[in-house]
Structure formats: C-alpha cells, structure tokens
Amino acid sequence: MHGYLVLRRARRVLGNENEAEDVLQEVFLSLLDKPAQFEGRSALTTWLYSATTHLCLNRLRNQRTRRAILERAAPPLASHPAPGAETMVALRLLLAQLPDAVARVAVYYYCDEMTQDEIARVMGCSRRHVGNLLERLSAAHQDAGGCV
C-alpha cells in the first residue's frame, strides 16, 4: 500500500517510470537504514510523501537528469510536441531551479491539491509561511515568463 503511494508521487513529479522506481527503492532503503528519521510526529504516509518529494526534487536538480528529461521530451524536428508535454518539461525545469521549500509547496499545492493548512502541517510550518512560499512561487513563475 505505501509503496504505491510513493511510486505514484515519484511518477507524478519526475514523469519517468524508471526514475520513479529508483526513488521508491531509495525511500524505503533509507527508512530501513535509518529508521529513526521517521520520528512519529506525523502519519507514516505524510512522512513518505515528504521524503519522496524531497528525493524527487533533488533528482530534478541534478544537471544530468535535467538533460535526460529534455532529450526524452524533445520532439523530432519534423513534428510538434503536445502542449501537455511542453508544459510538464517546463514545470520540471522550473521546479529544479526553485529553492527546496518553494518547490515542495508547488508540488503539494498543484499536484496534490492540498490546502495551505494541510501543507503547513506536512511541512511543519505556519499557514502564513506557506502563503509566503506560494507568493515566491508566483514571482518565480512570472520571472520565467509565465510559461507554465
């Protein structure tokens, strides 16, 4: 049950089945290796979502991974990409450039459709801080030309 949740989150953030499966293994191996990292202050699923999101964002920030995403998503010169694919590549590139907290808020808010209160609980911060992070996300979106 928990494995499916981790895999689903990783697929959604990374857009790549192989990378998502790697993250799935990494999350559970990390938990086996250092069980104390789950302190029990939240539900296990909350911790798994947070850990998975963090690992996925780190992968997106990896320069080699970014290049591979672009190569996979780049259409042949003779055809035009579907708007959805362009948007997802642009979103992943934007996430890779954002500070961790802002990128996490973006995933929770737009992918998971969580409320600001829910995000605050998952991230262990105030609702006001979540609002500030969403404002920073909006500013980054505008700085990127509003392409996503």
Asked whether the beta carbons of 44 and 2 are under 8 A apart, the reply is yes
26 found inside a domain: yes
Q: In the chain, pLDDT over 70 holds for what percent of residues?
A: 82
Q: Per-residue pLDDT averaged across 53-79, rounded? A: 67
52 found inside a domain: yes
21 found inside a domain: yes
What CATH number is given to the structural domain containing 78?
Answer: 1.20.140
pLDDT band at 2 (very low <50, low <70, confident <90, very high): confident
Q: Per-residue pLDDT averaged across 72-88, rounded? A: 55
pLDDT value at residue 71: 63
Q: Which domain holds residue 47?
A: 2-143
123 found inside a domain: yes
pLDDT band at 82 (very low <50, low <70, confident <90, very high): very low
pLDDT value at residue 78: 43
More confident position, 80 or 145? 145
CA atoms within 13 A on the CB side of 28: 13
Q: How many domains does the chain have?
A: 1
148 found inside a domain: no
Using the predicted structure, report yes or no on whether residue 81 has a pLDDT greater than 50. Answer: no
pLDDT band at 70 (very low <50, low <70, confident <90, very high): low
65 found inside a domain: yes
- pTM for this model (two decimals): 0.56
87-107 pLDDT tens trace: 777 778 888 888 989 999 988
7 found inside a domain: yes
In whole numbers, what is the pLDDT of the chain averaged over residues?
81
pLDDT value at residue 22: 93
Asked whether the beta carbons of 98 and 140 are under 8 A apart, the reply is yes
CA atoms within 13 A on the CB side of 143: 9
Using the predicted structure, report yes or no on whether residue 14 has a pLDDT greater than 50. Answer: yes
Gap between the Cα atoms of 109 and 123, Å rounded: 12
72 found inside a domain: yes
